[in-house]
Amino acid sequence: PGRPRAILDLAPESGDLFGALRGRLRAILGPDFVANAVLVDALRDGVRLSGLAALPTFSRGAAVSQHLFVNGRPVRDRLLLGALRAAYADLLPRDRHPAAALFLDCPPELVDVNVHPAKAEVRFRDPGLIRGLLLGALRATLAEAGHRGASTTARGMLGAFRPEAPATAVRPPAWSPPRSGSGGFSEDMLGAEGWSARVETPASPEEGASAPEEGLPPADLPLGVARAQLHETYVIAQTADGMVIVDQHAAHERLVYERLKAQALAKGPPSSQILLIPEIVELDAAACARLLEA
């Protein structure tokens, strides 16, 4: 009694009927969740994380499909929910929420369950360890499933965007830059020309009959030319044989990275800023050694 993970375990000749985690979650959360989720299993410093995490394509409109357990007890802990959200930050729009059923098992002395009247929240002795475990395990699992975040943006992606001479007298529809503060591209990030030189504005009937501008490169670049913006998050570009959709926030991060790299090559001190909430970076032993030697 009082143990939500206690189940009826039958083991006839055919084998265990209800023992598998995947089978239990299928019975409770439905077959769609299990069919669109990946198995999570990670261990760090005596703390184990297991369960199922849904693919980004199975996101929900509200955070109602997030089931977290600590030592068998269901919780709605801010640290755990925040780490879950952060693991999907580069994979989901801001109005979508991941779905997951995760079980965290740790020694009792590492967690205090008496910080909330309804036992819905817990306090960890080492919150950094717990957050790092969730972030690292979820990101690695999703990456193995083929879903990678903005940090894996291909080298040279932004350099492929170039203005294109119109193929006909018809100009593309209007496009307005993202509102200030939306995290999108800004003119200083894109250079002196800004987006105004990269996205055509609607032409009047007289202008529409004019000849295409001269001096612009052809439309045979890998990422083509930007044509529109979707949900203040994605830039839609036209190529010679199709279209490309780019996460503008990821591209913005790439621009910042290229700027910092240019400063480092110029042997100038890069500008820095202390974050209000520290970011956890997963490094292997070789990367840690290089960082300590730098």
Q: What is the pLDDT of residue 270?
A: 64
Dihedrals φ, ψ of 211, to 5°? Answer: -75, 155
Q: What is the reported pTM?
A: 0.49
- Mean pLDDT for the chain? 73
Asked if the structure places residue 228 within a domain, the reply is yes
Residue 59 lies inside a defined structural domain of this protein: yes
**What is the CATH number for 78?**
3.30.230.10
290 in any annotated domain: no
Q: Are residues 177 and 244 in the same domain?
A: yes
- The answer on 198 and 120 residing in a single domain is no
Q: Which of 32, 28, 100 is nearest to 64 (CA)?
A: 100
Please indicate, yes or no, if residue 4 is contained in any of the structural domains. Answer: no
* Overall domain count for the chain: 2
Specify if 278 maps to a domain.
no
Looking at the structure, tell me whether residues 29 and 129 fall in a common domain.
yes
CB under 8 Å to 133, separation ≥6 — which residues?
42, 44, 47, 49, 104
Asked if 224 and 238 count as a contact pair (C-beta separation under 8 A), the reply is: yes
Decide: helix, strand or coil at residue 38: strand
Residues in CB range of 10: below 8 A, 6 or more apart: 16, 17, 18
Q: Domain for residue 202, yes or no?
A: yes
pLDDT digits (tens, 9 = 90+) for 215-233: 445 455 667 788 888 877 8
240 token code pair: 């010679």
Least trusted range by pLDDT, from 48-57, 102-111, 264-273: 264-273
Same domain, 117 and 30: yes
Say whether both 170 and 135 belong to one domain.
no
Is position 212 within any domain?
Answer: yes
Could you tell me the residue range of the domain that residue 87 belongs to? 21-145
Kindly report which listed range (8-12, 67-71, 123-127, 235-239) carries the lowest average pLDDT score.
Answer: 8-12
Segment 115-129 mean pLDDT: 83
pLDDT above 90: residue 84: yes
pLDDT tens digits along 159-201: 445 444 444 444 555 555 555 444 444 444 444 444 444 444 4
Question: Could you give the C-alpha distances from 196 to 86, 117, 172, 202, in angstroms and in order?
Answer: 33, 56, 13, 12
Selected residue with higher pLDDT from 116 and 211: 116
Q: Which residue has the higher pLDDT, 140 or 120?
A: 140
273, part of any domain: no
Average pLDDT over residues 121-130: 89
- Shared domain check, 133 and 27: yes
Residues 52 and 140 in one domain: yes
138 with 168, same domain: the answer is no
